[in-house]
């Protein structure tokens, strides 16, 4: 039903777009894309990370992907999977005539071998590995995944572009990978670490019929070449965009927005609803194991001030406590009253109920993401106003990732996430995620969400889960934030995305 609705929306949008005067896009040219750094591998199975997904999605493809409304859509699969046996059997018809960059045809055996590799190596694959009874090719055109128990997020897991179930040739699956051979519209020509990753058009690419639709639909190959250039310093990305050196510069500090406006060689691109910052509370050890203490923090915080300090102008953030922004099927207002209270007196009372002993709360944050740090500073003031002492521990990101694994070392840490199309995959939901929210009620709802294949019922279950998040306060979603990038006016056909992609993009003559 929801997918149907999404498709109606997509169709309406397509009509609207079609109504605009059509500008013919031309083939040819190379673009330079400034990225935030260098990925540690070009194998999107073995690591997660938005940067890795952004680059590798141009040469590796998955069976499924997401359309412009974040609904599942086939990519290397011919159609959406046929789900049978009470949600335990997924039958996936494969698109025919697809070839790898080495000229060999993609077979059902390649798909089976790739999916098995994914369950062994990818963190997302491991989520489902224990639940898989068999992955097999029923014939040359079909692959069947049999589960031990129903697991509805499987299709979404198969569609992500990082920690991704990409399809590789069965004989090119070493780990670490030796040759980068996928089925995507672009192929790897050369990688010089910390200098560039050079992709060229894959002439043997077989694109889907129809029109582009988000990550799905037809993938047009206008550009001859795409070069990803790692530019870790954000200011350098800004200056490079202003100088016209980069046709696209990813993730630029919002402070640069005004400088990018009205320029000849670049223009700002705002991606609304890019992600959500969160304060993860330590549910395993220390004073935050007390629900009342977590509620005290939730009650004390003023999300509006935190967002304003972190992102500046209102166009860069949205005050919203719901787990999904408007436009997503998962959107719900359940439990939202607990959000953005900033009520020091009530928080003080809750801290008293929790028998708060006056010891400082250790907030672990990093200036690698400046907005984390700014939010932490504002949060510290609100907590102090509620009589809660704060020990702000500012470390580099690598240290934070290490320390957060040790429950004895922190009470709250700050991180952020994109909005994932599948709610069961929200990072802090599993018991094992640092924060260790191992509530019985949560696990019951999460199991129901995973087992249910009817989307309408899943939306209702997720609304209950969101309410529980507000009730138990295992973490605090601060709001939504937009991402700022810069693009050259000569770059046409680019659609803002959390994982920017440049098939369908072209250079204006």
Helix (H) or strand (E) holding 434: none
Shortest distance in whole angstroms from residue 350 CB to other proteins:
30
Measured distance CA(335)–CA(344) in Å, rounded: 20
Shortest distance in whole angstroms from residue 503 CB to other proteins:
20
Measured distance CA(130)–CA(149) in Å, rounded: 10
Binding of other proteins by 35 (CB under 8 A): no
| Burial 96-134, CB ≥16 within 10 A → b, else e | eebebbeeeebbbebbbbbbbbbbebbebbebbeebbee
Shortest distance in whole angstroms from residue 266 CB to other proteins:
10
Within 291-310, the residues that bind other proteins by CB under 8 A are none
- Does residue 89 contact residue 144 with C-beta atoms inside 8 Å? yes
Other CB atoms within 10 A of residue 271 CB: 17
Distance from chain centroid for Cα 286: 30
Measured distance CA(186)–CA(194) in Å, rounded: 20
Q: Which of 6, 10, 32, 449 is close enough to bind other proteins by CB under 8 A? A: 32
Q: Which of 114, 245, 298, 365 is close enough to bind other proteins by CB under 8 A? A: 245
Residue 440 CB partners (closer than 8 Å, separation 6+): none
Give 75-109 as a 3 state SS string: CCECCCCEEECCCCEEEEEECCCCECCCCCECCHH
Nearer residue to other proteins within complex by CB, 390 or 426: 426
In this structure, the strands spanning 361-366 and 412-418 are: parallel
3-state SS class at 305: helix
Binding of other proteins by 232 (CB under 8 A): yes
Measured distance CA(153)–CA(147) in Å, rounded: 12
Place of tokens 């997924």: 90
Give 220-231 as a 3 state SS string: CCCCCEEEEEEC
Place of tokens 């993730």: 251
Nearer residue to other proteins within complex by CB, 19 or 176: 176
Is the link from the previous residue into 251 a cis peptide, with omega within 30 of 0? no
3-state SS class at 47: coil
- Does residue 100 contact residue 106 with C-beta atoms inside 8 Å? yes
Q: Which two tokens stand for residue 356?
A: 């708060």
Build a one-symbol-per-residue string for 74-113: x at contacts with other proteins by CB under 8 A, - elsewhere: ----------------------------------------
Q: Which residue stretch of 35-43, 143-151, 385-393, 463-471 sits at the interface with other proteins (rule: CB under 8 A)?
A: 35-43
Within 164-203, the residues that bind other proteins by CB under 8 A are 176, 189-190, 192-196, 198
Distance from chain centroid for Cα 76: 21
Sign, CA dihedral 97-99-105-108, equals negative
Within 123-152, the residues that bind other proteins by CB under 8 A are 123-124, 126
Measured distance CA(156)–CA(422) in Å, rounded: 6
Binding of other proteins by 285 (CB under 8 A): no
Shortest distance in whole angstroms from residue 84 CB to other proteins:
30
Nearer residue to other proteins within complex by CB, 127 or 300: 127
Build a one-symbol-per-residue string for 415-454: x at contacts with other proteins by CB under 8 A, - elsewhere: x-----------x----x----------------------
Nearer residue to other proteins within complex by CB, 247 or 411: 247
Q: Which of 230, 268, 335, 500 is close enough to bind other proteins by CB under 8 A? A: 230
Q: Which residue stretch of 14-22, 201-209, 224-232, 339-347 sits at the interface with other proteins (rule: CB under 8 A)?
A: 224-232
Within 11-30, the residues that bind other proteins by CB under 8 A are 30
Within 356-415, the residues that bind other proteins by CB under 8 A are 395-399, 401-403, 405, 415
Q: Which of 117, 220, 227, 294 is close enough to bind other proteins by CB under 8 A? A: 227
Shortest distance in whole angstroms from residue 239 CB to other proteins:
5
Nearer residue to other proteins within complex by CB, 127 or 329: 127
Q: Which of 3, 25, 41, 109 is close enough to bind other proteins by CB under 8 A? A: 41
Nearer residue to other proteins within complex by CB, 230 or 335: 230
- How many residues of this chain bind other proteins (CB under 8 A)? 48
Shortest distance in whole angstroms from residue 27 CB to other proteins:
19
DSSP assignments along 309-360, one per residue: HHH-SGGGEE---SSS-TTSTT---TTGGGSS---HHHHHHHHHHTT--SPP
Place of tokens 């963190």: 123
Nearer residue to other proteins within complex by CB, 240 or 479: 240
Nearer residue to other proteins within complex by CB, 217 or 434: 434
Residue 392 CB partners (closer than 8 Å, separation 6+): 363, 365, 376, 377, 380
Q: Which residue stretch of 66-74, 96-104, 118-126, 131-139 sits at the interface with other proteins (rule: CB under 8 A)?
A: 118-126
Build a one-symbol-per-residue string for 256-275: x at contacts with other proteins by CB under 8 A, - elsewhere: --------------------
Chain contacts with other proteins (rule: CB under 8 A): 30, 32, 37-38, 40-41, 47-49, 123-124, 126, 163, 176, 189-190, 192-196, 198, 227, 229-233, 235-236, 239-240, 242-245, 395-399, 401-403, 405, 415, 427, 432
């Amino acid at each position: 039903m929801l997918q149907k609705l999404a498709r109606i929306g997509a169709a309406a949008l397509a009509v609207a777009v079609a109504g605009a005067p059509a500008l013919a896009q031309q083939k040819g040219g190379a673009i330079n894309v400034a990225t935030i750094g260098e990925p540690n591998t070009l194998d999107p199975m073995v690591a997660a990370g938005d940067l890795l997904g952004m680059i590798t999605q141009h040469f590796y493809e998955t069976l499924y992907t997401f359309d412009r409304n974040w609904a599942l859509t086939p990519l290397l699969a011919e159609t959406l999977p046929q789900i049978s046996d009470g949600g335990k059997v997924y039958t996936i018809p494969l698109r025919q005539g697809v070839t790898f960059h080495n000229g060999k045809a993609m077979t059902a055996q390649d798909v089976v071998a790739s999916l098995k590799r994914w369950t062994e190596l990818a963190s997302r694959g491991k989520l489902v590995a224990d639940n898989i009874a068999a992955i097999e090719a029923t014939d040359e055109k079909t692959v069947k995944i049999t589960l031990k128990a129903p697991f509805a997020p499987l299709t979404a897991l198969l569609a992500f572009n990082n920690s991704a179930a990409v399809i590789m040739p069965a004989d090119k699956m070493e780990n670490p990978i030796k040759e980068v051979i996928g089925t995507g519209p672009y192929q790897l020509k050369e990688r010089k670490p910390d200098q560039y990753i050079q992709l060229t058009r894959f002439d043997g690419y077989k694109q889907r019929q129809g029109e582009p639709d988000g990550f799905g639909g037809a993938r047009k190959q206008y550009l001859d070449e795409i070069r990803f250039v790692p530019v870790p310093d954000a200011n350098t990305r800004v200056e490079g965009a202003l100088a016209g050196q980069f046709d696209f510069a990813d993730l630029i500090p919002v402070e640069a927005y005004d400088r990018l406006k009205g320029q000849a060689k670049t223009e700002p691109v705002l991606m609304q609803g890019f992600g959500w910052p969160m304060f993860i509370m330590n549910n395993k050890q220390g004073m935050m194991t007390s629900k009342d203490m977590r509620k005290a923090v939730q009650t004390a915080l003023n999300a509006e001030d935190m967002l304003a300090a972190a992102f500046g102008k209102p166009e860069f953030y949205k005050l919203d406590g719901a787990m999904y922004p408007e436009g997503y099927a998962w959107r719900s207002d359940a439990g939202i009253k607990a959000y953005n209270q900033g009520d020091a007196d009530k928080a003080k009372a809750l801290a008293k109920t929790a028998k708060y002993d006056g010891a400082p709360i250790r907030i672990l944050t990093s200036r690698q993401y400046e907005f984390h740090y700014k939010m932490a500073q504002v949060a510290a003031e609100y907590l102090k106003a509620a009589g809660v002492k704060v020990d702000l521990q500012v470390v580099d990101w690598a240290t934070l990732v290490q320390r957060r694994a040790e429950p004895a070392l922190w009470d709250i840490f700050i991180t952020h996430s994109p909005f994932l199309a599948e709610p069961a995959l929200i990072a802090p939901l599993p018991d094992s995620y640092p924060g260790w929210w191992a509530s019985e009620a949560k696990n019951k709802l999460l199991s129901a969400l995973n087992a249910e294949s009817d989307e309408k019922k899943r939306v209702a279950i997720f609304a209950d889960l969101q309410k529980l998040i507000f009730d138990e306060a295992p973490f605090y979603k601060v709001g939504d934030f937009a991402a700022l990038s810069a693009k050259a006016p000569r770059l046409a056909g680019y659609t803002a995305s959390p994982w920017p992609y440049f098939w369908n993009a072209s250079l204006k003559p």
